Amino acid sequence: MLPAIVRIAALLAMLSSVACESLTQSEKEVVRDLRHFQLDIETEYSRGTATALNFLPGIGNFYLDQTGLGVMNLLFWPISIVWGMPQAWVDTPVMNEKYTADYYRTRAGQLKMQEHLQVLQIPPEEWPYWIRR
């Protein structure tokens, strides 16, 4: 009886936490600035690949670097296909935005952004605050 209760509790915890991935406020600001200054969001992850891989137990989540969700989908496979595949489809663009924002917050990404802004002839006082630091 106890293992069934533990599985049900884990399932409820997983279902309550399987909200779509979201960006932090600073990631949103970086993505907004990239779009404003006409820079593309990197496509590190493929929607189709993530969705197809989630037919297997949690593999799509591991592909998207969502280890916790991958483990939960692995534990509840094959039922997890019901929520795992659509969740991977929805999360992929957000994970690409996270990946891109993380890159542009590194020194290399900031230098690339500065070069882009100089090509556009944007004066430094109009650069995003996260570049001017």
Residue 70, domain extent? 24-132
The answer to whether residue 132 scores a pLDDT higher than 80 is: no
Does the residue 29 lie in any domain?
A: yes
Name the domain count of the chain.
1
Give the model's pLDDT for residue 16: 45
Does the residue 8 lie in any domain?
A: no
Give the model's pLDDT for residue 2: 60
Does the residue 6 lie in any domain?
A: no
Does the residue 97 lie in any domain?
A: yes
**DSSP line for 8-72:** HHHHHHHHHH-PPP---HHHHHHHHHHHHTT-PPP--S-HHHHHHHTTSSSHHHHHTT-HHHHHH
- DSSP structure class, residue 78: T
Check residues 7 and 74 and name the one with the higher pLDDT: 74
Which tens digit of pLDDT belongs to each residue from 34-48?
898 888 888 889 998
Which tens digit of pLDDT belongs to each residue from 67-122?
888 888 888 887 878 888 888 888 899 999 999 998 988 888 888 888 898 888 98
